[in-house]
Structure 1
Amino acid sequence: MPVKKINPNSKPIPLIIITGFLGSGKTTFLNNILNSLRLKKIGLIINEFGEINVDAELINMEGDSEISEINNGSIFCSCLSGSFINTLAKYQDLDLDYIFVESSGMSRPISLDKILDSLNTLTEQSFNYSGMICIVDALNINNLLKSVNSVKEQIAYSDLILINKTDLVDAKDIENAVVNIKMINEHAKIVETSFAKIDINLLENLSNINDLKSVRLDDNLSSENIIPENFLLKFEKEIKEQELEFFLNQIKNNIYRIKGFVKIKGGKTALVNSSRKEVEWSLVDNKEIKDSKLVVFAENKADISVPSSWK
């Protein structure tokens, strides 16, 4: 049964979906967008594949904008798509200027057309699907395309593709990335960037170029598809900053993503936000935690464990 609109004459709300593999820069991108649109009223849905949503705590929301979290799976999976649709439906009468959805890094948007059909039926066309933006990591994209099918699917369904972190690679790597992306999706606009920065006018001109029902990927999918394991590292002991740095450097080539909060000696808290080949962490203010918790995505769970002295 459709959800009746309080204001049936209101314009449909632009709906933009953000995809990108683990560590590509989706949260940084969203914070840049939110800063540029700080005078607008924004709805935001953060989807996390694991049970803990660290990204939601990293989003800088201002004013009367709205944020919701959907955890423990992908919004495109049948197990969560209903929750996703219902969450969006609750936003329809909030007089928003935009709704952004950050999908999980492991998301596979093959069911997007069915989700949009259900959403339009439920809300009587309250939303205007503007398109999908995919953020890829220039440092890792060429290797990921050889083995992780979800990355290819995210690219295939997107209308704008940002090659992020171009400051970390040379021109040949970027050129190869462009060629590989165009082999999967020749219609999408490709923009090179660093620190996930874009011209905000790209959102105004974003157009849904994909016929979602006709996307075909069979020829591009790898027979050796890798599905990273997702697990939680938890420990109570406060550790030294040097210990954390050493640990992250030790595992950086064996993980796709590690993020969370760690108790540091002296009553301090560290935010860990690292991805493959990159170590990134910083001390944060006004963040009290009972236990250290790190969400990890890795090819092999057996390769990653915290030192026994931390437990």
Structure 2
Amino acid sequence: MKVKLDIVTGFLGSGKSVFINNIIAETITNDEKVVVIQLEDGETKIRKDFINVKTFMYDDEICKLDSFINNTIEESNCTRIIIEYNGTESFEELQYTLSIHNTRKKYKINDIYFIADANVIESYILNMGDFIIPALESSNLILINNCFDKKEDKINEIISLIKKINLNGHILKCENNEDIGNTIMKSNLFSKKRIKRLYMNIRGERN
């Protein structure tokens, strides 16, 4: 059985590490071994009190990430991998690296999450679309963070812009980093025993 690989992407400071900490806390089971591979070193760290969770920093070329993942699977015997990916890097390059020679891989892409900062996501889409749009298009779930000081009309404007790029991805909104965990729990998209399948993704229903 191939290892499930999740990707959490978005720009530095958007709340990716906080999101990862919360989905691990909400979904990990006793029989799981989780590896988090971080491709950036942000302010928030992955919690060290998790049992059966290992964290690695990866600072080599993206084209070599596939080999690193396969070696990590062999050495750690993990059942699940979460990649934290910087939104300023090419998402298409990451997709290509993870998809080539797919039949020989020990893992498969499971779900893709995009963490957006409500303060800057619109300007980033308009000015850095080459980086953001491929990631948004591929995401199963988009979390709009830092909505605490935004009027409802502004949030709806952001949601409308995102839906023009990804009509089928599920969209959540939260006040700030401290609200991410509560937002995840209230969404009912995740259960304590295992991650529920997100059937709303743009690639259609998965097995």
Structure-2-length-normalised TM-score: 0.78
Aligned-partner SS, 2:114: strand
Shift in CA distance, 114/105, structure 1 to aligned 2, threshold 3 Å:
closer
Aligned-partner SS, 1:136: strand
Q: Which residue of 2 aligns with 1:63?
A: 51
* Larger helix share, 1 or 2: 2
Aligned-partner SS, 1:86: helix
Distance 1:119 1:46 in 2: 23
Q: Which has the higher contact order (CA 8 A, sep 6+)?
A: 2
Which residues of structure 2 form unaligned runs of 5+? none
Task: Return the offset for 1:131.
Answer: 2.2
Which of 158, 167, 190 is 1:201 aligned to?
A: 190
Q: Which residue of 1 aligns with 2:3?
A: 13
Superposed CA offset, 1:231-290 (max 9, x none): xxxxxxxxxxxxxxxxxxxxxxxxxxxxxxxxxxxxxxxxxxxxxxxxxxxxxxxxxxxx
Q: Which residue of 1 aligns with 2:96?
A: 114
Counterpart residue type for residue 33 of structure 2: K
2:125 is the counterpart of 1:145: yes
Q: Which residue of 1 aligns with 2:145?
A: 164
Q: CA contact under 8 A between 1:45 and 1:67: conserved in structure 2?
A: yes
Q: CA contact under 8 A between 2:119 and 2:146: conserved in structure 1?
A: yes
Superposed CA offset, 1:179-210 (max 9, x none): 00011111211112232331361742235834
Q: CA contact under 8 A between 1:21 and 1:151: conserved in structure 2?
A: no
Mapping of 1:1-311 within 5 angstroms? Answer: 11-37=1-27, 39=30, 40-48=32-40, 53-55=41-43, 58-61=45-48, 62-71=50-59, 80-93=61-74, 94-118=76-100, 120-123=102-105, 126-149=106-129, 150-194=131-175, 195=177, 196-197=180-181, 198-199=184-185, 201=190, 203-207=195-199, 209-210=201-202
Superposed CA offset, 1:92-141 (max 9, x none): 34343321000013122113443233363443xx2131121001111222
Consecutive aligned runs of 4 or more in structure 1 exceeding 3 Å deviation = 37-40, 207-211
Counterpart residue type for residue 46 of structure 1: Q
Superposed CA offset, 1:63-100 (max 9, x none): 2322221126xxxxxxx223211111023343433210
Task: Return the offset for 1:59.
Answer: 1.3
Counterpart residue type for residue 66 of structure 2: I
User: Sequence identity of aligned pairs in percent?
Assistant: 23
Rg (Cα) greater in structure: 1
Shift in CA distance, 103/208, structure 1 to aligned 2, threshold 3 Å:
farther
Counterpart residue type for residue 108 of structure 1: S
Aligned-partner SS, 2:56: strand
**For structure 1, which segment, 196-205 or 186-195, has the greater mean C-alpha deviation from structure 2 after superposition?**
196-205
Structure-1-length-normalised TM-score: 0.54
Counterpart residue type for residue 103 of structure 1: Y
Distance 1:182 1:33 in 2: 24
Distance 2:108 2:132 in 1: 25
Distance 1:209 1:54 in 2: 28
Q: CA contact under 8 A between 1:19 and 1:134: conserved in structure 2?
A: yes
Q: Which residue of 2 aligns with 1:8?
A: none
